[in-house]
A and B are shown apart, each in its own frame.
Chain A
Amino acid sequence: MKTDITGIPERRKKRNIKKTILTIIKYIVVITGAICMVLPFFWLISSSLMTSQELMADTPRWFPEVPQWNNYVEVPKRVPILKYYKNSLITAGIATLLVLITSSLSGYAFAKIKFKGRKFVFRFVLSTMMFPVFIFLIPNYYLMKQLGWLTNYMSLIIPFAVSGYGIFLIRQFVMSIPDELLDSARIDGAGEMRIYMKIVLPILKPAMATLATLTFIGLWNSFLWPLIITSSVQDLMTLPVGVSRLSVAFSTSENQHLILAGLVYQVVPMVILFLYLQKNYIKGFVLSGFGNL
C-alpha cells in the first residue's frame, strides 16, 4: 500500500478529503435553508419598526432608519388586540384541557380494556379523521345557533373537545405500558378508574405534554371556524381572525406599518414560548412513540 510522508494511507486520506467536502456542502445547505426560514420573520420584525413611508418606499429596505417602537403602542390603541388574546387563550386553553381528558380516557380504554367491539369503535374513531371539516361547518353552525351558543365561548370550545388524533396518539403510547403492571394492580383489587388515575396518568405525562402542545398550537392557529362564528359576534374574535382583519382596520397606505406591528403581536409571543418549550416538545414526540408509528 502506498503511503506518503505523513504515514496515512492514500486511500484513507482521499476519503477524509471527500468527507470534509461533504461536510462543507452539508453546512452550506443547512445554512441556506435556515436563512430562507428566518428571512420572512426577520423582514416582519424589521418592517414592523418602520414608518409607513419606509415600508412603501420603491426599493425595499432591510432596516428602519430609526426603529419606531411607538408602532407597538399604537396598535393596541386602535384594535382590541388584548381582547383577541384573551379570547384565544380561554378557548384554546379550555378545549385543550378537554382534549387531554377525553383522549386519555378513551386512549386507555382502547389500549388496555378488552371490551366488546373496541376494534370496531377504534376504527370508527380513526375514520372520522378522514372527513373534511367542511361537512361539519353548516350543521355545526346550525347546531350552535339552535343551542344559542353563537354568542358565547361554548361555540369555540365544545366542537373541539374530542380529537381523533389525540385518542390515537394516547392509545399508541398506552400500548407500550406492560400489561403486568396493570394486572398486578387489578389483582390488588384496584378498579379501572383507580388504575387510570394512579398508574396510567403519571406514565402518560410526556405524551400528554406533547398532545397538549400540539392541540393548543392547532387551536391557537385555527382560523376557519372562528371566522365563521365571530363574523357576527365581534366580542368573541380570536387572534387569527383579528389579525386577518388588520388589513381592513388599517387599509389606508399610511397605516400599513401598523398591520405588521399587529402581526408581531400574533407571532412573537408564541415563538418565544416555543423556544422555551422546544426541548420538551421534541422529547415528547420521541417518547410518545411518534417515531415508531
Chain B
Amino acid sequence: MRKGLRKRNLVGYGFIAPALIFYAVFFGFPVVFSLLVSTRRWNMLVPFEEARFYGFRHFEYLLKNELFMRALLNTCLYAIITVFVTISLSLIFATLINKSKFSVLWRFLYFTPIVTPPVAIGTIWNYLYKPNNGVFNHILGSVGIDPVYWLTDPNTVLFAVMITAIWGGIGSSMLIFTAGIQNIPQAYYDAAKIDGAGPFRQFWNITIPMLKPTILFLTATGMIGAWQVFDLPFIMGKNAPAKSIMTVSGYVYESAFQSMRMGRASAGAFILFIVIFIVTIFILRAFRKGGMSGYED
C-alpha cells in the first residue's frame, strides 16, 4: 500500500510536471526578479548586477506622484463601472435572447466583438468618436446637441473609452451567461409560472440566484482584467491630456519601455498586484457572505 501511494504521488507530479516547470520559469522567477528590480535603478542596458540599489524609494516616489495616483483613480473608476455595467447588461440581454425567435442570429450579432481584437475596436471607435465628421456627433447633431470632443476633452475621454470597452466586453459575458441559463432546469420556471410569477419575478427569483456562481466568476475575472486594462486607452487616449486617461498599466508600460526605468515600472506593477489582490479577496468575501462557496471542491 505504501508503495502504491508513493507511486501515485510520482505519477501525479509527473502529469503536472510540464505546468510546474513552466510556473517555475515564467512565474516564480519573474516574481522574485521583479521584486529585486523594484529596489534597483536599472535601465536594462547594463547587466542587472551593476544596477544601483535604491531601497523602497520607487514605491515612495509613486505613492507621492500625482500622475500615478491619478492613474490609480482612473483605473479604479474604469474597473468598477465597466465591470458592473457589462455584467448587468449582458445578463439582461442573455436572458432576453435566450428564448427569442432567431436566437442564433442575435447571438451572432451580440457575440461578434469577442473575436475582434481591442486594437481594432479602438481604431474603429476612434473614427466614430471624431469631433467634426464622426458618426456619433453627426447623430447627436441631428437632434440638436452640440458636438462632443469625446477623445480630447479630459472630462469625457475616460467615459468614451468605457463605453467602447462595454460594447466590446458584453459578448463574452453574454456567452458565459447563455451557457449558465441553459443549465437552469426548465422545471423551475414551469413551477413559477403555475404559481403566477411573471417574467420579471422569474428573472429576479430564479435566473439571478441560479446564476450567482457565474456572476461571481465574471465579477472576479472581470475585475482582475479591467484593473490591467491597456489596449483601449493606449489606442484611444493618444490625443487626450495624459492625466485624464492614464491607467496604471499604461504608466507601467511607459516607465518600462519608453523611459527605460525598470525599477519604477516594477514597483508600479507590484502596487497594481496588491490592489488586484485586495479587490479579489473583497469580492470573494462579499459573495461568500451571500451564500457562495469557493471553487476548491
Identify the A interface with B (CB < 8 A): 22, 26-27, 29-30, 33-34, 36-41, 43-44, 47, 56-60, 101-102, 105-106, 108-110, 113-116, 118-119, 121-126, 128-143, 158-159, 161-162, 167-168, 191-192, 196, 217, 220-224, 228, 231, 239-241, 243-244, 246-247, 259-260, 263, 266-267, 270-271, 273-275, 278-279, 281-282, 285-286, 290-293
A130 to B228, CA, bound (A): 11
B259 interface residue (CB < 8 Å to A): no
B29 interface residue (CB < 8 Å to A): yes
Indicate if the CB atoms of B19 and A29 lie closer than 8 Å. no
Indicate if the CB atoms of B112 and A47 lie closer than 8 Å. no
Contact with A along B162-189 (1 / 0, CB 8 A): 0000010011000110111111100000
Chain B residues with Cβ below 8 Å from A259 are: 123
Chain B residues with Cβ below 8 Å from A57 are: 133
Indicate if the CB atoms of A113 and B115 lie closer than 8 Å. no
Minimum Cβ distance to chain B for residue A112 (Å): 9
Indicate if the CB atoms of B33 and A102 lie closer than 8 Å. no
A218 to B25, CA, bound (A): 22
A231 to B31, CA, bound (A): 24
Which partner residue on chain B sits nearest A165 by CB separation?
Answer: B221
Indicate if the CB atoms of A137 and B113 lie closer than 8 Å. no
B26 interface residue (CB < 8 Å to A): yes
Identify the B interface with A (CB < 8 A): 5, 8-9, 11-13, 15-16, 18-20, 22-23, 25-27, 29-31, 33-34, 37, 44, 48, 93, 96-97, 100, 104, 106-121, 123-125, 127-128, 132-135, 138, 167, 170-171, 175-176, 178-184, 199, 213-214, 217, 221, 224, 227-228, 230-231, 235, 248-249, 252-253, 256-257, 262, 265-266, 268-270, 272-273, 276-277, 280, 295-296
Chain B residues with Cβ below 8 Å from A133 are: 228
Indicate if the CB atoms of B230 and A224 lie closer than 8 Å. yes
Question: Contacts A134-B269, A136-B30: A270 and B214 contacting too (C-beta < 8 A)?
Answer: no
Chain A residues with Cβ below 8 Å from B12 are: 109, 113-116, 118
The 5 closest A-B pairs by CB, nearest first: A115-B12, A291-B183, A109-B15, A139-B30, A221-B117
Which partner residue on chain A sits nearest B6 by CB separation?
Answer: A116
Indicate if the CB atoms of B228 and A132 lie closer than 8 Å. yes
Question: Contacts A106-B16, A121-B16, A138-B37: A37 and B114 contacting too (C-beta < 8 A)?
Answer: no
Q: Select B114's contact among A132, A162, A274, beta carbons within 8 Å.
A: A274
Indicate if the CB atoms of A58 and B26 lie closer than 8 Å. no
Chain B contact residues: over half helix, strand or loop, or mixed? helix
Chain B residues with Cβ below 8 Å from A134 are: 228, 248-249, 252-253, 265, 268-269, 272
Indicate if the CB atoms of B123 and A282 lie closer than 8 Å. no
Indicate if the CB atoms of B97 and A136 lie closer than 8 Å. no
Indicate if the CB atoms of B124 and A40 lie closer than 8 Å. yes
Chain B residues with Cβ below 8 Å from A161 are: 22
Indicate if the CB atoms of A142 and B44 lie closer than 8 Å. yes
Indicate if the CB atoms of B295 and A286 lie closer than 8 Å. no
Give me 14 other A-B pairs in contact (C-beta within 8 A), A134-B248, A137-B253, A221-B119 excluded: A33-B93, A56-B133, A131-B276, A136-B30, A139-B34, A140-B30, A196-B15, A220-B115, A259-B123, A271-B116, A274-B112, A285-B179, A290-B176, A293-B213
Q: Select A135's contact among B30, B117, B132, B213, beta carbons within 8 Å.
A: B30
A109 to B132, CA, bound (A): 59
Indicate if the CB atoms of B114 and A115 lie closer than 8 Å. no
A60 to B109, CA, bound (A): 24
Question: Contacts A40-B125, A135-B273: A228 and B257 contacting too (C-beta < 8 A)?
Answer: yes
Which partner residue on chain B sits nearest A171 by CB separation?
Answer: B295
